[in-house]
A and B are shown apart, each in its own frame.
Chain A
Amino acid sequence: MAKPAIAPGAELDGFTVGECVHQGGMATLWTVTHPGITVPLLMKIPRVAEGEDPAAIVSFEMEQMILPRLAGPHVPGCFGAGDFDRQPYVVMERIPGNTLYSRIEKLPAAYEEARVIGGKIATALADLHRQNVIHHDVKPSSIMFRPSGECVLIDFGLSHHNQLPDLLQEEFRLPYGTAPYMAPERLLGVRDDPRSDLFSLGVLLYFFTTGVRPFGESETLRGMRRRLWRDPYPPRKLKPDYPPWLQEIVLRCLEIEPVWRHPTASQLAFELAHPDQVKLTARSERLQRDPLSTVWRRRFNRGLTQPKPKSDVAAQLASGPIVVVAIDTEEGSGALNECLRRAAAQLLSTLPSARLACLNVLKLGRITIDRTLDEQGNNKHIDRMVALRHWAQPLGLDESRLTVHVLEAIDPAAAILEFTAVNHVDHIVIGARQNSMLRTLLGSVSAKIAAEAACTVTVVRPPRLALAPVQDGGKG
């Protein structure tokens, strides 16, 4: 079959070609229209002519396989694809505006701006990972934002889909990607660990907040391999005012061993959303790189950096959920809270990467004007936080796995639902009070949450005691 020429005005499978908007090394991008589709569209056409980079073909094939499988606000919608036997192309939604690359001229960015951008990217990565895809090319030019604010990840040519063949697996002797952002395990051929994307996001955050790339810009394999043993300068060495919580997050992303990074992108997004609750470790204070003895041990003890057998991405994500326990701190909730703690302990004992967020709702009156201080002049908010920590104390959780949150709301169920949606919580554990007059009057919070939450909900009830024998009143 004759290969159709791509030029303004040409027709291809019902798409009318408009103007060429980008000519890259791997592909060209054209605006296209289709009578039945109202969103703005882009057609991506790989460079496949003789003498072109063979990576252009393979990365196009990966995108051709992966993009139609993806859904949601964090990826461009896919509207069609053509194969190599005629004219290879993919048609996708055109996201308006520029990529984050346009921002790098004016770095460093303010810490708060970087925190918000990083949180949006982590949220998008979490959604991508849940769809079994690892991006593997997280960098400013792969990141865009919708007018509504959500981060959109573009360019899936180097991505790995855990349920599809990985065409880049044996194609190239050198790992393919963008050198400054590439995770160390990629240099060892590991392509199935979602935490590689967290490393790249750490590089981006470091670069955006310091104006310096943590591993330089070396493109040589030798230069890139240094990151297998050499850690970057802590940001605080470059900027004395660098917030400890941010250094904690960034250096954790940049850990050489994936297992020391955040277990999931959702947990990283959670930390970026709650900077005041980030557990500060020695990382947050560091001013120097690791001593040479550590570097040498890493460099010559290869056992530390051997690739592992193929992992199951979905199983890995499932082992690091964000669990919320909703706790009532009122008088008389002791027995129920004890049951909640037991339920939480059982859950956490099987999930060593899970993190626990303890929630309490400070209920506001609909009419009365609420004051932050109670009648004795104590700050109600802080009292509740103290009570939540007290509840969690017997669990013996590492501080990095535990946060406490007091929400102020008129409707407790709505507040808990909103918190779980915003923070991509995976599991809610909540108690149900039995035979409560309050429940009869106001409706059950746990029932509303069980019905409306988008995640798994465990409703905990105290053990039921045998009822007192009912006197036979001769009803008949």
Chain B
Amino acid sequence: MRLAIFADIHANRQAFSACLDFARARGAERIICLGDIVGYGADPEWAVDTMMGLVDDGAIAVIGNHDHAVSTPSESMNAVAQAAIEWTRGRLSAPQRRFLAELPLTLRDDNRLYVHSEASHPARWHYVRDTPDAARSIEATDAHITFCGHIHRPALYSMSSAAKMTSFIPTTDVPVQLLGGRRWLVVLGSVGQPRDGDPAAAFAMLDTTSREITYCRVPYDVQAAASRIRANGLPHWLADRLLVGR
């Protein structure tokens, strides 16, 4: 089965629409969302409604720290993120807020684990920045493959049977076989707010039969997404950073 895995959509309608179209054209059979459906972007109602519809059709989704902050204000967020969450909260209906609040922290599907930040302390929202962070996550689960987002920069880590780590910045469109003899942490780039210097929306596809992961980049109408952010009175920095992918 072909899975399309999305992380950090951040209410960016233009980016997520483009990614969904791209994934369907490539034969995606199941949608996975790794959280942060809202926050930063200007179309939270659309993003939540779209995800609710996808989940009704069999998609699975876990909660991200921004989704969580809609109902439970967080003290650890910076001022810009906080301002965006306040604005988002006012836009969402009660059922939409309930949908976000009830998303699980982690989900297990066969030998795969889905989590927003990392597997060792999913509710603490730690970033996976390097191999020690990745090793901590891999050691905390017996899943063969863990998928996470949160850091907005794609990466691929593995741990050998002798607990040695490797790290890798994936090459777009080059499938990597997730070998059975080691365990893997697949870190997704962000759909709605990439921070690796490439403004194109990021997601990944997994073929569960061949166990090949393919990282994808999808160009989308960044200007439109940025204009929506400015038009809604959100901090302009949130629009500016989309244009440069930082």
| Nearest B-chain residue to A172, judged by Cβ | B164
| Nearest A-chain residue to B171, judged by Cβ | A163
- Chain B residues whose CB sits within 8 angstroms of the CB of A54 once the complex forms: 160-162
Interface centre among B158, B165, B167, B181 (most CB of A within 10 A): B181
- Chain B residues whose CB sits within 8 angstroms of the CB of A65 once the complex forms: 176-177, 179
Q: How far is the CA of A58 from the CA of B88 in the complex (A)?
A: 48
Contact with A along B145-162 (1 / 0, CB 8 A): 000000000001010111
Which of B158, B165, B179 makes the CB contact (< 8 A) with A83?
A: B179
- Chain B residues whose CB sits within 8 angstroms of the CB of A64 once the complex forms: 177, 179
Verify if A211 is at the interface (C-beta below 8 Å from B).
no
Category for how many chain A residues contact B: 10 to 19
Category for how many chain B residues contact A: 20 to 34
B interface SS class: loop
CB distance from A26 to the nearest CB of B (A): 15
CB distance B166 to A167 under 8 Å?
yes
Q: How far is the CA of A58 from the CA of B166 in the complex (A)?
A: 11
CB distance A171 to B168 under 8 Å?
no
Verify if A88 is at the interface (C-beta below 8 Å from B).
yes
- Chain B residues whose CB sits within 8 angstroms of the CB of A58 once the complex forms: 160, 164
Identify which of residues 161-180 in chain A touch chain B, using a CB-to-CB cut-off of 8 Å. Answer: 162-167, 169-171
| Nearest B-chain residue to A65, judged by Cβ | B177
- Chain A residues whose CB sits within 8 angstroms of the CB of B182 once the complex forms: 61, 167
CB distance B181 to A88 under 8 Å?
yes
| Nearest A-chain residue to B172, judged by Cβ | A163
CB distance A57 to B179 under 8 Å?
no
- Chain B residues whose CB sits within 8 angstroms of the CB of A163 once the complex forms: 171, 174
Verify if A260 is at the interface (C-beta below 8 Å from B).
no
CB distance A170 to B131 under 8 Å?
yes
| Nearest B-chain residue to A167, judged by Cβ | B166
Q: How far is the CA of A170 from the CA of B158 in the complex (A)?
A: 11
Known: A164-B174, A165-B166, A166-B168. A171 touches B160 (CB 8 A): yes
- Chain B residues whose CB sits within 8 angstroms of the CB of A57 once the complex forms: 160-162, 181
Verify if B53 is at the interface (C-beta below 8 Å from A).
no
Q: How far is the CA of A48 from the CA of B153 in the complex (A)?
A: 35
Identify which of residues 17-58 in chain B touch chain A, using a CB-to-CB cut-off of 8 Å. Answer: none
Q: How far is the CA of A170 from the CA of B161 in the complex (A)?
A: 13
| Nearest B-chain residue to A310, judged by Cβ | B169
Verify if B180 is at the interface (C-beta below 8 Å from A).
yes
Known: A57-B161, A61-B182, A88-B181. A165 touches B168 (CB 8 A): yes
Which of A85, A164, A169, A170 makes the CB contact (< 8 A) with B176?
A: A164
Verify if A101 is at the interface (C-beta below 8 Å from B).
no
Q: How far is the CA of A164 from the CA of B176 in the complex (A)?
A: 6
Contact with A along B114-142 (1 / 0, CB 8 A): 00000000000000000100000000000
Q: How far is the CA of A170 from the CA of B135 in the complex (A)?
A: 13
A-B contact pairs, 8 of them (CB 8 A): A54-B160, A57-B160, A58-B164, A61-B182, A64-B177, A162-B171, A163-B174, A169-B166
Given A162-B171, A165-B167, A165-B168, 9 more pairs with CB closer than 8 A: A64-B177, A64-B179, A83-B179, A83-B180, A85-B180, A163-B174, A165-B176, A170-B166, A170-B167
Nearest first, the 8 closest Cβ-Cβ pairs linking A and B are A84-B181, A165-B168, A83-B180, A163-B171, A85-B180, A163-B174, A84-B180, A171-B164
